[in-house]
Amino acid sequence: MQFALGFLAAFALLSLVAFFRIRRWRRFRHGAFAASSVGLAGRRWPFRALFTRLDTSPAQEQVLVEAAASLREELSALRTEWVSARDELAALLGEPSIEPSRVEAVLASRDGQLAAMRRRAAEAAARFHGVLDEAQRKALAAMVREGQVLAHAHGYRRC
Q: Is the pLDDT of residue 26 over 80?
A: no
What is the rounded distance in angstroms from the CA atom of residue 145 to the CA atom of residue 149? 9
Q: What is the model's pLDDT at position 134?
A: 92
What is the rounded distance in angstroms from the CA atom of residue 112 to the CA atom of residue 95? 27
Going by pLDDT thresholds of 50, 70 and 90, the confidence category of residue 25 is low
Could you tell me if 15 and 72 are in contact, meaning their C-beta atoms sit under 8 angstroms apart?
Answer: yes
Q: What is the pLDDT of residues 75-110, one digit of tens each?
A: 888 888 888 888 888 988 888 888 888 888 888 888
Domain positions in the chain are 2-154
